[in-house]
Amino acid sequence: MERQDVADAEPRLGDVLDESERWEPRPPRRGRRVFIVYLPGLEPIFWALFSAGGFVAAILIPAHVAILGIAWAAGWLPIGALSYGRVHHLVHNPLIKLYLSALISLPLYHWAHRFRFAIHHQFGIHGWKRLVSVATYGTAVAGTVLAVWVLLRI
């Protein structure tokens, strides 16, 4: 609490970095001879998900948006390309389900990680770390659960 009050009153770079380091793995202090295993927490997992989501967003989503969002409305797709029977049959395939759950959930983790960073380091809101984490990563986890639930119903 005390640290948060200080950060709110006068946000200095050192305070911001101290705060964010609490979420990151720390190397053992120099001069200590005891080997201590530092649990890195969830940060590396979210970093990996962020990176995977960034890759999916870069390489797969442009084609999806262009086809589903623009080509369909413009009438460039052949008749029946998005017919219920065809799409339902396609999505029924387990491999397609796996692909779609990754396509939906990974960009959500990308957003969560990036947005959490933006709140703390770009918008300059240094407090409520836990609340922001729960809200952003929670949204991503909820999106993943929803995607899997919907796909299992098809």
Q: Which residues bind other proteins (CB under 8 A)?
A: 53-70, 72-73, 77-78, 81-82, 84, 87-88, 90-91, 96, 100, 103-105, 107-108, 110-111, 114-115, 143, 146-147, 150-151, 153-154
Q: Residue 126 Cβ, how far from other proteins at the closest point, in Å?
A: 21
Q: Residue 48 Cβ, how far from other proteins at the closest point, in Å?
A: 14
Helical H runs in the chain? Answer: 2-9, 13-21, 43-59, 61-64, 72-74, 84-92, 94-117, 129-153
Nearer to other proteins, 70 or 131 (CB): 70
- Please give the C-alpha separations between residue 68 and each of 50, 74, 95, in angstroms, as whole numbers: 24, 10, 20
* C-alpha torsion sign, points 92, 93, 96, 97: positive
Nearer to other proteins, 6 or 70 (CB): 70
Nearer to other proteins, 26 or 88 (CB): 88
Nearer to other proteins, 135 or 151 (CB): 151
Say how far apart CA 74 and CA 81 lie, in whole Å. Answer: 13
